[in-house]
Amino acid sequence: MSETIHSYVEARRQPFLDELFELLRIPSISTLPENKGDVTRAADFVANSMRNAGLENVEIMPTAGHPLIYGDWLHARDKPTVLCYGHYDVQPPDPLELWTTPPFEPTLRDGNIYARGAADDKGQMYMHIKAVETLRGLHGKLPVNLKFLIEGEEEIGGKSISHYVAENPEELDSDVALVSDTALYAAGIPTLCIGLRGLVYMELEATGPSRDLHSGLYGGAAPNAVYGLIELLAKAKDAQGRIQIPGFYDSVEDPTAAEIESWRSLPFDQREFLDREVGSSALTGEPDRMVLERVWSRPTLEVHGIAGGFTGAGAKTVIPARATAKVSFRLVPKQDPDKVLAAFRQWIDRNTPAGIRTELRLLSSAPAVMVDPSHNAIQVAAKAFSEQLNQKTVFIRSGGSIPIVGDFARHLNIPTILMGFGLPDDGLHSPNEKYALENYYTGIKTIARFLELYGTAQ
Amino acid sequence: MSETIHSYVEARRQPFLDELFELLRIPSISTLPENKGDVTRAADFVANSMRNAGLENVEIMPTAGHPLIYGDWLHARDKPTVLCYGHYDVQPPDPLELWTTPPFEPTLRDGNIYARGAADDKGQMYMHIKAVETLRGLHGKLPVNLKFLIEGEEEIGGKSISHYVAENPEELDSDVALVSDTALYAAGIPTLCIGLRGLVYMELEATGPSRDLHSGLYGGAAPNAVYGLIELLAKAKDAQGRIQIPGFYDSVEDPTAAEIESWRSLPFDQREFLDREVGSSALTGEPDRMVLERVWSRPTLEVHGIAGGFTGAGAKTVIPARATAKVSFRLVPKQDPDKVLAAFRQWIDRNTPAGIRTELRLLSSAPAVMVDPSHNAIQVAAKAFSEQLNQKTVFIRSGGSIPIVGDFARHLNIPTILMGFGLPDDGLHSPNEKYALENYYTGIKTIARFLELYGTAQ
């Protein structure tokens, strides 16, 4: 073999980047109805890239929401099958004014690609496609069988793919899934994520008076929907961040002593985490637990946004009639999303202040996931990763949620390799989201190498 | 005298209404920068109406904010001088979708004028001008000396007029002020308001992380600006609505037994107040105090609006970096707005949750006011009112705030007659604000009659 994965990718740095930039320019914001056309354009772009890479049977499948893309290559007889997953949709970019360069004009700066979706997940999903292209270019064929399933609803709960996986287990039958939507523990450290938190995302609406009232004429006797919502939500956690809903922690398990021990051996500078990543005056949360434990293995209740009453410039003296908050739980293994939701509903009924009516709407729901690090595919992935970065692969968890991983486990009965190349300060979901340029190329090479090794490891 | 006030007004119902409609069509929203031109147009309209009514020296005075309008008629030798006050600015009309007819297209429906500002205060301010026109039309002169001072910033704190009154006490020297910006206790009951609550209106901003963070990756360890603001504000009141700021109630006095007694004799149906006016499932507030006491003589803390994080359609999993709330105190007599503000600042410093920084900005401030019901002008006003509505005039308080009344007391050393013709369900500051058509004419007649009586009562 005259050419290696390394030299093949290095020779194509510019075109591989140009293509990604083209994809990043499409504002495929799945949650905003006005961007529906952009989401479709992104799907077309990804499908074409898959065809160009040599995948077959590429199909854009319409759903009740945004399209799913399928493609495969199934000519590696007696070799295992890898199911590659990614998503082409992104979070809204607001607040826009905080971006140094526009979110949908990808820009190279200080070795980073700045754009919404650069790391989450367009930049990482696209590595899979380029890894396939690289292997086909080098060998004319692939070392394993591949199925690609790429969605456009990850940022809004991924309902369509979840239904699709549940209904098509035979078509998707594989040995392992491969997902690149996580981060290295730190720059240069090969990292496999073996645990994810679940997510129950809700909208809570409070109503008080039947219309906005004059706060002078009614203040003191009329309920205030904004204040009622504030009172209710404030009761949901104590000052240490412990959730006050009865039974909430019943099935929460602590990590094993060995896992805690391995987390303790990871480099972690709490001062730097606070100053450079979080940027607040102090950290919060359960004081008796280390930070990695709080964000990886403890459930949370978060309010993502709140709106109600008059919030324009100046003053308006109303008692607001309505207020709404976006609220979520992050769940850990063994917590049942349905039970948590039911307990929250009951708690709301019991704790809503007098004069206030509340309505809770579920927007999405997924349980937490754990994979077994001793699984063959995980071990091969760790080897490819170690080789590439010349360092021992670490196993960590992530506090984020990738609901599809749970669906793969439940319906296809396969583990998922969470092999991501982001960095902790990439600013996912924030202004100035970035992805390290070099990690884009490292990702392509590592994934290609993993597929090579996995094809010979059986 | 062949013509009476009554017949003069009755003969001019249509033109008097047409002119008011013209004024109501101008969206003079003082708090919105984009309506600045409309506020100026409204000032021009009012100044012209004053000239047409026979007032002299009419002048539109520019200020740092919106223009003040002055005019006078000072030819009633040895007669007292009445200072007429009103405002031509209005509250924003949002939420627009709840209006049956557009807020700035005044519409007659079921005997009511529906429009933003119909009752607060264009409709009532305009009665003063029409009362002057009526007396001049009947007698060719006026029974008392008059000074008019009309502002365009009442809904945003009235800073300019407050400075003007403080700096021009001689020019404004009068015996009594007359303000029509309140309501009858109930339809048909002649009502003079002798007490108003004060108002300290503020904006409270909370910041947590330096940017919006991914709630999966940081949830459990990073402070949330929205939740921090929720926690802080929830601590400010207990479940009965009692304000938890140390010293807040120190100078609060209960109404006298006689005043409480007179309030008890007023018709008040709590069920109807709840169902028809407030429209919530229950009333709130201090359970040991009657509703009229809660809204007239007890201080409040109200959150008028709150905004922070993601509030669009769908889901976004951020830990918000910023959140803002509009917060006010209504104050009762003897409470010092400056002391209350200082105590609140100190309380905020002590109670802001870990990891959150707060900033409190004062938007406006005015103390509560009480006037002496035995004052000669008040007694004459009560007589004119009783005559007009054929019923004994009642003395009440209002929970609202009219800061200028405090300025008149402090700088001009005069009491204010609060003679308003609104109704409790007029929906001030709310969608579908209305003003009873008949009360518009009754107001013109009563004010004209008061001026007549006051000119002969000395």
Tell me if chain A has a CB within 8 Å of the CB of B313. yes
Please name the member of A95, A309, A313 whose beta carbon is closest to the beta carbon of B33: A313
Tell me if chain A has a CB within 8 Å of the CB of B214. yes
| Measured distance between the N- and C-terminal CA atoms of chain B, rounded to whole angstroms | 22
Integer Cα distance of B416 and B73 in angstroms = 19
Contacts of B33 in chain A (CB under 8 A): 313
CATH no., domain B5-196+368-456: 3.40.630.10
Contacts of A359 in chain B (CB under 8 A): none
Q: Alpha-carbon torsion B41, B43, B46, B52, what sign?
A: negative
Token pair belonging to B199: 């108002």
At which residue do the structure tokens 């729901």 appear? A365
Integer Cα distance of B353 and B371 in angstroms = 42
Integer Cα distance of B385 and B193 in angstroms = 12
pLDDT tens string B274-323: 998 899 999 999 999 999 999 999 999 999 999 999 999 888 899 999 99
Q: Alpha-carbon torsion B259, B262, B264, B268, what sign?
A: negative
Query: 229-258 in A: which are within 8 Å (CB) of B?
Result: 230-231, 233-235, 237, 239, 241
> Considering chain B, what is the average pLDDT of its residues?
95
Predicted pLDDT at A318: 94
Q: How confident is the model at residue B240 (pLDDT cuts 50, 70, 90)?
A: confident
Q: Is the pLDDT of residue B408 over 60?
A: yes
Q: Taking phi first (over 0 means left), then psi (-120 to 50 degrees means alpha), and beta for anything else, what does residue B109 get?
A: beta
Q: By the 8 A CB rule, do A223 and B282 touch?
A: yes
| Measured distance between the N- and C-terminal CA atoms of chain A, rounded to whole angstroms | 22
Tell me if chain B has a CB within 8 Å of the CB of A424. yes
- Find the Cα–Cα–Cα–Cα dihedral B391, B395, B399, B400, rounded to 10°: 80
CA distance B354 to chain A (A): 6
pTM higher than 0.90 for the full model?
no
Predicted pLDDT at A277: 87
Question: Which segments in chain A show pLDDT lower than 70?
Answer: 1-2, 458
- Find the Cα–Cα–Cα–Cα dihedral B302, B307, B309, B310, rounded to 10°: 120
Q: How confident is the model at residue B458 (pLDDT cuts 50, 70, 90)?
A: low
Predicted pLDDT at A1: 36
Query: 322-341 in A: which are within 8 Å (CB) of B?
Result: 323-326, 328, 330
Q: Give the residue range(s) of CATH 3.30.70.360 domains in chain A.
A: 198-252+299-366
Predicted pLDDT at A401: 84
Beta partners for residue B149, in sequence order: B70, B85
Contacts of A422 in chain B (CB under 8 A): none
Predicted pLDDT at B275: 94
Q: Alpha-carbon torsion B5, B11, B13, B18, what sign?
A: negative
Predicted pLDDT at B166: 97
Residue-wise DSSP of B89-158: -B----SGGG-SS-TTS-EEETTEEESTTTTTTHHHHHHHHHHHHHHHHHHSS-SSEEEEEEES-GGGT-
Rg of chain B in Å (alpha carbons): 23
Could you tell me which of A372, A353, A355 has the C-alpha nearest to residue A414? Answer: A372
Amino acid found at B220:
G
Could you tell me which of A348, A389, A352, A379 has the C-alpha nearest to residue A453? Answer: A379
Contact A234 B231 (CB under 8 A): yes
Token pair belonging to B417: 């007659």
Q: Is the pLDDT of residue B369 over 70?
A: yes
**CA distance readout (Å), A297 to A255, A429, B88:** 7, 21, 59
Q: Taking phi first (over 0 means left), then psi (-120 to 50 degrees means alpha), and beta for anything else, what does residue B215 get?
A: alpha
Tell me if chain A has a CB within 8 Å of the CB of B287. no
Predicted pLDDT at B442: 98
Tell me if chain A has a CB within 8 Å of the CB of B118. no
Q: By the 8 A CB rule, do A219 and B330 touch?
A: yes
Q: Is the pLDDT of residue B2 over 50?
A: no
Q: Is the pLDDT of residue B1 over 60?
A: no
Q: Give the residue range(s) of CATH 3.40.630.10 domains in chain B.
A: 5-196+368-456
Could you please state the CATH topology (level 3) that the domain comprising A198-252+299-366 is classified under: Alpha-Beta Plaits (3.30.70)
Going by C-beta distance under 8 Å and a sequence separation of 6 or more, which residues neighbour residue B450?
Answer: B178, B380, B381, B384, B385, B417, B419
**CA distance readout (Å), B92 to A63, A313, A318, B103, B125:** 42, 11, 11, 9, 18
pLDDT tens string B13-55: 999 999 999 999 999 999 999 999 999 999 999 999 999 999 9
Tell me if chain B has a CB within 8 Å of the CB of A425. no
